Structure 1
Amino acid sequence: MTSQVEQRLAALGLALPPDWTPRGQFLPFRKDGNTVYLSGQICEWAGAVTHAGPVADTPEGIQSGREAAQICALNLLYRLREACHGDLDRVDVVLRLGGFVNCQSGFGASPAVINGATELFIALFGASGWHARTAVGVPGLPGNASVEVDAIVRLKD
């Protein structure tokens, strides 16, 4: 049976990505009690980076970065579903997102870019999707991806 969260995802016209091999030697998530620490996910789909290079400081560039952040969020949800044994309805609250934007020095729109991930979590989890957050600019990311996002989530008992 499909979770209500996945039904909301489908209603938005979105789907979780296919499985992929991580680019480094790490766990996709670590659980401590009901808390799930999700490793950072870049904007890749089926192993290919979808948005590469620094995010341009233009309206179009920022919109492209938001789309990249949303793909990061979909990758996080894929791994979170594994941590929830296939049931995303077990999510109690999204505690924190950490967002990293590949950009040039002086880029001030990192928060607007990471909103692409934040808004998806709120759309899927409602009030429980609101979270504490960091959104920072960095000079490079794995695979020259434009965006990377990590998360901390608490599950229901």
Structure 2
Amino acid sequence: MSIIEEKIEALGLSLPKAAKPVAVYVPAVKSNDLIFTAGQLPSIDGKLITPGGVGKVNEQNKEAAKKAAEVATLNALAAIKLVAESLDHVKQILKVTVFVASESGFSGQPFVANGASELLEKVFEKSGIHARSAVGVSELPLNASVEVELIASLNSNLI
């Protein structure tokens, strides 16, 4: 087991198998020393998590949506592992984009996105500190509350 996966387990979490695409795309792609993930949903064993893991986010369910962002991030890390073979090969998490299915008037997208950012910093430490966008949208695939994309760089000796 990799050092990064041990850190994930120490948090009481586990790295899932990479989610199968629901359309025509791949979970992640590598270009030189960069890995770009497809948008990952907050699913466990192929099912969107509940409570709070499905539907539009508002002030009342933003904590559940933050947890959903964490789960979606674990799925994105699984997609990175699929391409990099080990999360220990990740040099830096460069960019995180979190899409939040938001009710009209909800502006707490940065709070929800912290579910992704806090996990990445705990697991990768300084290498997990990243640039980020938190975007409110009207709908997400499969009625998910959040969708997370990551861009990571790999250690140059692995290219």
Alpha-carbon separation, structure 2, partners of 1:66 and 1:90: 27
1:53 maps to 55
- C-alpha distance in structure 2 between counterparts of 1:30 and 1:19, whole Å: 13
1:63 aligns with 2:60: no
TM-score (norm 2): 0.93
| Alpha-carbon distance in structure 1 between the residues aligned to 2:72 and 2:19 | 13
Aligned-residue offset at 1:21:
2.2
Shift of 1:106: 1.6
Deviations 1:110-143 (A, max 9, x none): 0000100110000010011011010011111011
Give 1:72's aligned residue.
72
Give identity over the alignment, percent.
37
Deviation at 1:6, TM superposition (A): 0.5
- Residue 42 of structure 1 is matched in structure 2 by 41
CA contact (8 A) 1:18 1:45 kept: no
Maintained 8 Å contact 2:20/2:27: no
Residue 14 (structure 1) shift: 0.3
> Can you give the 5+ residue segments of structure 1 that lack an aligned partner in the other structure?
none
Kindly tell me the number of residue pairs found equivalent between the two proteins. Answer: 153
TM-score by length of 1: 0.94
Local SS of the residue matching 2:38 = strand
Q: Would you say the 8 A contact 1:19–1:46 is kept in 2?
A: no
**1:146 is matched by which residue type in structure 2?**
S
Determine if the alignment matches structure 1 residue 82 to structure 2 residue 99.
no
Output the aligned Cα RMSD: 1.0
How far apart are the structure 2 equivalents of 1:81 and 1:106? 37
**Runs of 4 or more above 2 Å deviation:** 18-21
Structure 2 CA distance for aligned equivalents of residues 73 and 121 of structure 1? 8
Q: Distance in 1 between matches of 2:126 and 2:17?
A: 28
